[in-house]
Structures are given as structure tokens and as C-alpha cells.
């Protein structure tokens, strides 16, 4: 099936520098609002064990896991330090007016 774009939030729902957990079907997604109006999305579940990255700390384009402090680049999904070894899936995000849409596999 084709990928689909799904509206997951309004831009005003996420403060600049903030992150919001959203769910699309089976996908748990973290939606990030970077300074300057850039929006990004990754898996919300840490690739190490089970923690929601939306409970972590967003700084300089990196999210730090609240459980064991692994960090990930939210633009590439890359795991930047131990204990995480596996990268996160990233999702494309687009903005249409105030709506934020995420592209998810069909
Ligand atoms: S669960 Fe995220 S670093 Fe361990």
C-alpha cells in the first residue's frame, strides 16, 4: 500500500523547543518543534529499551532519552551515544496552514 499523509496535530499544539507524542495506527511518533519553526518526527519509542522520547529533553536538534540518556539526532534518527546502538525511524513532516501532517507507511 502507498504511504499516506496524516494530520497529527496543529502547529500551535507544540511550543517551540517542545515535543509531542502522537499515534498513527501502530506508529508511536514523537513530533518535534525546533527553534525557527522547523518540525520533525521520529519513532517515539527509544531503540534501546522501552521509554517514550517525548518525555526526554530536546536540545540542539537532539533528543535525550529520559531512561538511560541515549541521544539521537532527530533529523537523521541516528543514535549518537550508548546505550543506544540502533537508529530511530524518521518520518517526513509537512505543514499545511496550521495543520502538521506526517507521512506514514501504508
Ligand atoms: S531506554 Fe532509552 S536509553 Fe535506555
Distance from residue 85's CA to the centre of ligand 1 (Å):
10
Gap between the Cα atoms of 87 and 71, Å rounded: 10
Gap between the Cα atoms of 7 and 9, Å rounded: 6
Q: Taking the model in full, what pTM does it have? A: 0.95
For 40-79, the pLDDT digits (tens) are 999 999 999 999 999 999 999 999 999 999 999 999 999 9
Gap between the Cα atoms of 2 and 33, Å rounded: 27
Domain membership of residue 67 as a residue range: 4-104
- The answer to whether residues 12 and 20 touch, using CB atoms and an 8 Å cutoff, is no
Which CATH number fits the domain that encloses residue 11? 2.102.10.10
Atom of ligand 1 nearest to the CA of 47: 2
Any residues with Cβ below 6 Å from ligand 1, and which? Answer: 46, 48-49, 51, 65, 67-68, 70, 83-84
For 2-22, the pLDDT digits (tens) are 899 999 999 999 999 999 999
Number of domains in the chain: 1
Amino acid at each position: 500500500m502507498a504511504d499516506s499523509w496524516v494530520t497529527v496535530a496543529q502547529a500551535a499544539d507544540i511550543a517551540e523547543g517542545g515535543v509531542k507524542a502522537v499515534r498513527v495506527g501502530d506508529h508511536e511518533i514523537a513530533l518535534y518543534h525546533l527553534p525557527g519553526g522547523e518540525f520533525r518526527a521520529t519513532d517515539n519509542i527509544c531503540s534501546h529499551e522501552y521509554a517514550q522520547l517525548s518525555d526526554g529533553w530536546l536540545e540542539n536538534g537532539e533528543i535525550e532519552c529520559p531512561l538511560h540518556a541515549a541521544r539521537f539526532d532527530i533529523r537523521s534518527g541516528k543514535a549518537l551515544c550508548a546505550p543506544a546502538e540502533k537508529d530511530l525511524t524518521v518520518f517526513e513532516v509537512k505543514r499545511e496552514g496550521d495543520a502538521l501532517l506526517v507521512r506514514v507507511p501504508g
